[in-house]
Chains A and B, each alone.
Chain A
Amino acid sequence: MTRRVRIGIFLPALAGLAALLVWAYTGIPAFGDYQGPYGFVVTKLATPLRHMDNAVNSVTYDIRGIDTMGEEFILFGAVIGVVLLLRGEEGRTEDVHDDTGSDLVRVFGTLAIGAVVLVGLWVVAFGFVTPGGGFQGGVAVASGALLLYLAAGYREWAAFGNESILDPIKGIGGGGYAVIGLAALVGGMPFLTNFFHGGVTGSVFSGGSAAFVNWSAGIEVAAALVILFSEFLEEYIVPLAKGS
């Protein structure tokens, strides 16, 4: 295809897309114009009915908890796909020396691990009080774990980023979500019903059984991401080991 033909196809397509976008943008509601009734209903009812201050998580882990379960299984499946695709690059990694040379990075990096993991756990724990929840907190915990590689080195990471430890944790997180949902079924209620509406609003003990759903999501997301990181790091480290 010559340059002239390409431009000849591109320009009409660009004009068409631009026309459609302008047409679409002139039809959207005004800035901040929220018309749906559900947002108002949820923000009114999340605290009195569910003892949750964070209305967003009252939707994601309780009222529409089944959607989040679907998302969690998508993440589960995606990580299994990555593990399958990147398999077979096993190799001796004991001889790899890519440790940080700087003592400063080691000391502050190692201190940061604790801080980041703590913040992550806090974000999960207070998911029904302040912004956050299982997904965000889980990602933060996994990133804290990744600091172990960045601050210390691959050997320190490999001792922890080990599939025989992580796979069961990930399974417990993902399966736990469904088990809590099924527990409601056993009690004669619809799947994933929040079956103990207890808890003190505004405290870490709020949210009823959705708090456990939140924690299982946090565990599964953290483990899934650590597995993902360790697969990618293995891709990077194994050729280094062969080269040395």
Chain B
Amino acid sequence: MIVATLVPLQAVALALVALGAPAVVLSRDPLKMIVVNGLYGLTLVLMFVIFGAPDVALSMLVVGTVAYPLVVLVAIARVRARSGEEEGEE
């Protein structure tokens, strides 16, 4: 049985994640939300590294900063283009 204690660095990483998540939810504009979400992803990466899971951090780094923002950005661009068309037709 291994019992570790929470070192200050780990506490800081957890605090950053705890602050980042509400920041994502509280940013109402989708474009701002993506940027904030990317920063939140970086805090998660930091947490994974500090807690000794560098392989999870690698995945999170790429998914959180490249793949996910791309998918969301394209979806927003598409929805805005479509609602623009409908307004034009009315």
B25 within 8 A of A: no
**A96 on the B face (CB < 8 A):** no
B3 contact from A30, A56, A123, A143, Cβ within 8 A: A30
Q: Quick one: given A31-B5, A235-B74, are A225 and B55 in contact (CB under 8 Å)? A: no
Interface size, A (range): 20 to 34
Chain A residues with CB under 8 A of B3: 30-33
- Chain B residues with Cβ below 8 Å from A33 are 1-3
Chain B 46-67 interface 0/1 with A at a Cβ cutoff of 8 Å (1 = within): 0000000011001100110011
A229–B71 Cα gap in the complex (Å)? 8
Query: Within residues 1 to 49 of chain A, which ones have a CB less than 8 A from any CB in chain B?
Result: 30-35
Chain A 63-87 interface mask (CB, 8 Å, partner B; 1/0): 0000000000000000000000000
Bound CA span A31–B3, Å: 7
Closest residue of chain B to A225 (Cβ to Cβ) is: B67
Q: Please state if A236 and B58 are interface contacts (CB–CB under 8 Å).
A: no
| Interface bin, chain B | 20 to 34
User: Is the CB–CB distance between B1 and A136 below 8 Å?
Assistant: no
Tell me if B26 counts as interface (CB < 8 A to partner A).
no
Mostly, the A contact residues are: helix
Q: Judge whether A232 is part of the interface by a CB distance below 8 angstroms.
A: yes
A139 within 8 A of B: yes
Chain A contacts of B63 at CB under 8 A? 139
- The answer to the question of B78 belonging to the interface, with a C-beta cut-off of 8 Å to chain A, is yes
Q: Is A174 an interface residue (CB 8 A)?
A: no
A-binding residues in B (CB < 8 A): 1-6, 54-55, 58-59, 62-63, 66-67, 70-71, 74-75, 77-78, 81
The 10 closest A-B pairs by CB, nearest first: A32-B4, A131-B54, A131-B55, A136-B58, A143-B66, A232-B74, A139-B62, A236-B74, A136-B59, A33-B3
- What are 6 A-B contacts defined by CB distance under 8 Å? A32-B5, A33-B1, A34-B1, A143-B66, A146-B66, A232-B75
